[in-house]
Structure 1
Amino acid sequence: MIQSMTGFGKHVIQLPSKKITIEIKSLNSKNLDINARIPQAYREKELELRKMIADVLVRGKVDLSLYVEITGEESSAEVNQGVVKKYMQQLSNIAGGDDLKLMELALRMPDTLKTDKNDIDAEEYNAILTALKQALSEISKFRSEEGKVLEQDFLSRLKALNVLLQEVRDMDPERLNTVRERLERAVAELKVDVDANRFEQELIYYLEKYDITEEKVRLDNHLKYFETTLMSKDSNGKKLGFIAQEIGREINTIGSKANYAPMQQLVVQMKDELEKIKEQMLNVL
């Protein structure tokens, strides 16, 4: 079953004094590109968090956001009283004013708050890991649901291509007869004597150049292979992309050999269906 690279997952955990929220968003990308926005206090754990994401999501442009909201009395920041008093004294010497106003101005100055860097609490970090696992589970489910939609679209496009291929098969004898008649008429208009046997040999050689039997067989095989790969248990986006390229080559060759307007119209329709497949392929994991 294929998966989309587009997805979203979110999970929230409430601790006694903190609320931890993890959000993961992903879009399509050729490789895995993780952008992590986490508080400075948790930077030492970033590599571990990235590895957990890489093991699950594999590919795509991924945005990880970790938010920690203090909901209790806990705070790691304290007022640097000595610095604030010094600022107030200097401001008073410059402009005077009441203490409340001076304190308001002083607190806007640099280094008025000091923070103590503490080790990450084990229980808190385990809560973060739990939230991340849940968010990854949600985004994986989202990707699978999107993959089902893509799968149905691909099957619809494949059905249309198979119908068009059958029309090409049915039209091929008529095409060759038309090309043959066109050549015979062109030679007749020259009003010159030609050796019938030699002309027939040249005609057969010329018609062989426009034969599309191999292309029809290969195109049929590629369409079946695409569907088989699509229905496999793994999401093989890159493999499906390669098969789509091979399908395109056979369609292009049929178009270049057709030399027959009605068949070239079918080829245009086939190219249109394939282009829609390729557009959607950009989102497949």
Structure 2
Amino acid sequence: MAEIYSMTAFARESASVSGGELIAEVRTVNHRYLDCSFKLPEALRNAETRLRDRAAARLSRGKLDCQFRFQAGGAQAATLEIDRARLQQVLGATTELRALLPDAQAVNPLELLQFPGVCATAEIDETALLQGATALFEAALTSLLENRAREGAKMAAVIRERLTQVEAATLATRQLVPALRERQRARLQARLAELQVEIDPGRLEQELVYLAQKADVDEELDRLQAHIGEVQRTLDKGGPCGRRLDFLMQELNREANTLSSKSIASSSTHNAVELKVLIEQMREQVQNIE
């Protein structure tokens, strides 16, 4: 039996790379199609297309948000080199500004260090970093898919349970039909007797046939049973099946509404309402299936 995947999951992976540690966090939520968003450090800007292709190869639907963080470590993190020429340029600019703005606050030395170019950073091997990021993203996707499969299995179990109840309610309604038809016939005859109205037997039979056709639900019950079977087959097949299941939920709900509109007794009305409740519970689960 193939797996069912949820569209909601989270995964976090990290790995040591040249110069520090690389961290990848991926999160997905439900979406009509695959929509990927990446937040990457400057050294990985060129990796977005490659990462997007990897995501498309392993995911069919869902909104994916991926964030990479690079934390420098070892000698790279311990070394702080100041570009004195650049610092002098910045100090000269601040001196000119203080002449124009005498009431301005003094410059914070830490803010000077954060100015672009003041602190020299060690060169990063971007090729090695790109390879590390690609491998890390694959590992994060694997963890994400495992989480999606676990959640998908739970949702499939809920749908199967509700589907069993839908099938039971459908069978119960089918078993009620003969008695309801006979009750409808007896009710009409009793009403005519109460009114002391004589009616041609042929005409009475025509009216009874008309009423029976108006309240006939055999086709709706047959279609419900067919849709139930299709939902079961779709779940057994697994894979990206959320759209198909959503369509089947619409079809099930349509037949349940028709049953409700044709109901001629409280028992059948109760079954129709129960069907709609169960179908809505399944639909809520289906909305999050890939």
Secondary structure, aligned partner of 1:69:
strand
- Displacement of 1:42: 1.9
- Which AA in structure 2 matches 1:249? R
The residue type equivalent to 2:9 in the other structure is: G
Distance 1:240 1:77, change over 3 A: farther
Q: 1:134 to 1:149 in 2, by over 3 A?
A: same
Whether the 8 Å contact between 1:41 and 1:117 is mirrored in structure 2 is no
SS state at 2:222 partner: helix
Which range is displaced more, 135-144 or 33-42? 33-42
Question: Which amino acid is the alignment partner of residue 146 of structure 2?
Answer: K
Deviation (angstroms), 1:67: 0.4
1:195 to 200, 207, 219: 200
Matched residues in 2 for 1:73 and 1:132: separation?
26
Deviation at 1:185, TM superposition (A): 2.5
1:150-189 alignment, distance < 5 Å: 150-189=155-194
Match of residue 246 from structure 2: 241
Q: CA deviation at 1:116?
A: 8.2
Q: Aligned letter for 2:59?
A: L
- Using the TM superposition, give the Cα deviation of residue 126 of structure 1 relative to its aligned residue in structure 2, in angstroms: 0.5
Structure 1 residue runs of 5 or longer lacking an equivalent are 96-100
Q: Deviations over 1:83-133 (max 9, x none)?
A: 2331464478687xxxxx767287179656377897862111100001000
Instruction: Tell me the residue number matched to 2:90.
Output: 84
Aligned: 1:267 with 2:283: no
Assess, with a 3 A threshold, how the Cα gap between structure 1 residues 49 and 189 changes in structure 2: closer, same or farther.
same
**Is the deviation greater in 175-184 or in 77-86?**
77-86
Q: Deviations over 1:46-84 (max 9, x none)?
A: 122112112212211211000011113337985422223
Q: Bigger CA drift: 83-92 or 197-206?
A: 83-92
Query: Are 2:246 and 2:286, in contact at CA under 8 Å, matched by a contact in 1?
Result: yes
Question: For 1:9, which of 1, 8, 11 is the aligned residue?
Answer: 11
Q: Which moved more, 1:208-217 or 1:41-50?
A: 41-50
Decide whether the 8 Å contact of 1:35 with 1:63 is kept in 2: yes
Aligned partner of 1:229 in structure 2 is: 234
SS at match of 2:237: coil
Q: What pairs with 1:19-34 in structure 2 (closer than 5 Å)?
A: 19-34=21-36
Which residue identity lines up with residue 60 of structure 1 in the other structure? G
The residue aligned with 1:65 is: 67
State the AA in 1 paired with 2:276: K
Are 1:250 and 2:255 counterparts?
yes
CA separation in 2, counterparts of 1:130 and 1:177? Answer: 70
Among candidates 211, 220, 223, match of residue 225 of structure 2: 220
Answer whether contact 2:34 2:63 (CA < 8 A) is retained. yes
Q: CA deviation at 1:172?
A: 1.1
Secondary structure, in 3 states, of the residue corresponding to 2:199? coil
**Aligned-partner residue type, residue 83 of structure 1:** Q
Contact 1:42 1:120 in 2 (8 A): no
Once residues 106 and 250 of structure 1 are traced to their aligned partners in structure 2, the CA distance between those partners, rounded to angstroms, is 68
Tell me how far 1:219 sits from its aligned partner: 0.8
Q: Mark the CA change 1:165 to 1:109 in structure 2 (over 3 Å): closer, same or farther.
A: closer
Per the alignment, in what secondary structure is the counterpart of residue 107 of structure 1?
helix
Q: 1:208 aligns with which of 194, 210, 213?
A: 213
TM-score (norm 1): 0.89
Name 2:42's counterpart in structure 1: 40
Percent of aligned positions with the same letter in both sequences? 27
Q: Tell which deviates more after alignment, 183-192 or 128-137.
A: 183-192
149-158 vs 200-209, which deviates more? 200-209
Deviation at 1:218, TM superposition (A): 1.2
Q: CA deviation at 1:205?
A: 2.1
Given the superposition, is the C-alpha separation of residues 115 and 43 from structure 1 closer, same or farther in structure 2, using an over 3 Å criterion?
A: farther
Distance in 1 (CA, whole Å) between partners of 2:249 and 2:283 is 7
User: CA offsets per residue over residues 180-215 of structure 1, 9 Å max, x none?
Assistant: 222222333333321111211221122112111111
Kindly state the Cα deviation for residue 277 of structure 1 after the two structures are TM-superposed.
0.2
Q: Residues 175 and 72 from structure 1, CA distance in 2 versus in 1: closer, same or farther, beyond 3 angstroms?
A: same
